[in-house]
Structure 1
């Protein structure tokens, strides 16, 4: 640089240089508000990709949980255990499609006809009771589908559904192969003093979601198989299809149980009053087993989610993010609640921690202790 180009003492700060502390604080505050606004807009615009990523993370949690569980009985490398769990899952799905696909497809067509017939009978009964005016056209299925609105926009076509499912599977497998790699990637963007706390919270959220998904899969299995066997023994038609639908819908708390119950009762009464009452009894038996045996056990091992809280989250996420938001509302709420509990526990422990005496700064800080009521942390071998 030449002498003429060098700054001199007579030069004054330019308009881009901010030295006033109040101005700096205002600029930072404006940047925070602008960042929040952009984040909200990004969530709205990128709702579908965000839900696909969250779905992939939930699928990764399921694969990771199965891999850890298999490691307790099969001491081989993690990669081999993950491959076994993944292939077993896809193998089960392929078996169901291959051996039961034709039967279930025929039952699905019959189910549609039965639901249409039963809805027409319900409308006629409502007309006879005066709930609907005579001559008024009432399309029950149209009302249901119209009310669903945006809940079905994410999977409006079969191609879109298959593509979304494929993306979730691919993301889940990549994350499950090496989950700590992605933990370190997120932690790298945080300040050094917050990284240890982030790893702590990440471990606890993963622990919670693994047990939550394990309980959800167990509930799906119990409800699906139990419904199929009991309906088959009671002589209710389409028992296999109703069992499959009940098991799949069990992944969605509250709403899934209502939908499967309506289908079950409608098919039962289509075969006769006796089968209809059997269907009602079977529905309550299966739901009570899941609600009073499986779910309380899962809540003790993870976080206790109030039914009204989960239902409200399902309605909000379903309206904002479509069918994927409806499916993923439960794990999202569990992850948020676990994170808030961990942050609250850390602040309480930090507030109660006695101050160190003079000259004790070199001693190691023990860090916040977890409350005794919190679920047991996973052993080091499981992380």
Structure 2
């Protein structure tokens, strides 16, 4: 055997030369051992990614429960500033208040809104028919096949709305899971935080607690601002549609309560929700004539300007400032992949990712600054 081959054999090692207690497959070469470790890490990362995609729906439900728990936690913290009582009692008060509000909504407003909702599809269909007839009068050759194509495109374009309706009707199990898990988390969030921290390496637990604290604070602020915006937009829209038209001699817009409720609910979904509620508002408005239709366009523009120039900047200043294009892109991706639940949770999830990246960047900057300071002193 040549000297070069002998040296390579010594570097690679052999089963016979392996120390006692080590496997015959043990790699003695440090470089080969490092490459094998890297390959194992990549295999684990890919495996975890595939597993996360497989259980992504369940993970999204858990995140939705965390969002709901943040709402309860935020309400309990607000009560804690006024009432010096145990956290469990404050959480119970918030939950009872939510149940009471839903009961009130169903009892006092349910009958009126249900009657309006029953008439809503017929009015929207009638207005779409008038729009197509107007286009034919203007010289557009629209056949029945074209109408069906347009309807198909509309259904495809607002597929998230269809999934939303289907989710409301048939997704009670998912909603129940979100509510139950969220209540459990809200009762004692530190229990679950400690459980997750237990599997985090000890030297990373400080960074974990710091990130979780900032994420929870940001999520509470974001949801508080979102709920405030939903209430403001819903009440503002209802008031303008029900009473504002009388100033111009138009009269109340039909289904003002339903449109205000839909506007408030859809305000939870930035960008897309405003477009959907505006389209519905204008379609209903034109059912009462051209003047009423133009008035609803004005109401929509006024509400959106109020939301865009007053509410959103005020909320973003207190929470996390997300770029509108980034939010819209995340909504489109999550809406296609996960449906209405992904569409509704895209904004909070994006905010949490941003906070985590910002905290990591700040820690790296501090570590870099500390190392530079030590080198300067040396």
TM (normalized to structure 2)?
A: 0.87
Distance across 2 between alignment mates of 1:12 and 1:191 = 28
- Measured against aligned partners, the alpha-carbon deviations of 1:23-44 in whole angstroms (never above 9, x if no partner) come to 3322322222222222332233
* Pairwise CA distance, 1:217: 0.1
Asked if 2 retains the 8 angstrom alpha-carbon contact of 1:151 and 1:319, the reply is no
* Pairwise CA distance, 1:180: 1.5
Q: Structure 1 residues 228, 159: closer, same or farther in 2, change over 3 A?
A: closer
Asked if 1 retains the 8 angstrom alpha-carbon contact of 2:225 and 2:315, the reply is yes
TM (normalized to structure 1)?
A: 0.86
Counterpart in the other structure of 1:220: 230
- Measured against aligned partners, the alpha-carbon deviations of 1:115-156 in whole angstroms (never above 9, x if no partner) come to 111111222233344555345341344433234557756874
Say whether residues 1:32 and 2:49 are aligned partners: no
Q: Pick from 178, 191, 208: which aligns with 2:188?
A: 178
Counterpart in the other structure of 2:11: none
Q: Report the 3-state secondary structure (helix = DSSP H, G, I; strand = E; otherwise coil) of the residue aligned with 1:268.
A: helix
Distance across 2 between alignment mates of 1:256 and 1:277 = 21
Q: Pick from 229, 234, 237: which aligns with 2:254?
A: 237
Q: Of Structure 1 and Structure 2, which has the larger fraction of its residues in helix?
A: 2
Stretch of structure 1 that moved more, 63-72 or 35-44: 35-44
- Say which structure, 1 or 2, has more relative contact order (CA 8 Å, 6+ apart): 1
* 1:1-383 equivalences in 2 (<5 Å): 13-139=22-148, 140-148=150-158, 156=166, 160-233=170-243, 234=245, 235-353=252-370, 355-356=373-374
Distance across 1 between alignment mates of 2:310 and 2:369 = 38
Q: Structure 1 residues 196, 62: closer, same or farther in 2, change over 3 A?
A: same
Distance across 1 between alignment mates of 2:288 and 2:104 = 29
- Measured against aligned partners, the alpha-carbon deviations of 1:255-274 in whole angstroms (never above 9, x if no partner) come to 00000000111111101112
Asked if 2 retains the 8 angstrom alpha-carbon contact of 1:151 and 1:321, the reply is no
Q: 4+ runs of 1 displaced by more than 6 Å?
A: 8-12
Q: Structure 1 residues 53, 276: closer, same or farther in 2, change over 3 A?
A: same
Q: Which has the larger radius of gyration?
A: 2
Q: Structure 1 residues 107, 12: closer, same or farther in 2, change over 3 A?
A: closer
Q: Structure 1 residues 127, 28: closer, same or farther in 2, change over 3 A?
A: farther
Q: Structure 1 residues 168, 155: closer, same or farther in 2, change over 3 A?
A: farther
Asked if 1 retains the 8 angstrom alpha-carbon contact of 2:278 and 2:300, the reply is yes
What are the ranges of 5 or more consecutive residues in structure 2 without an aligned counterpart? 1-16, 246-251
Counterpart in the other structure of 1:369: none
Distance across 2 between alignment mates of 1:10 and 1:304 = 59
Distance across 2 between alignment mates of 1:356 and 1:12 = 43
Q: RMSD between aligned alpha carbons? A: 2.6
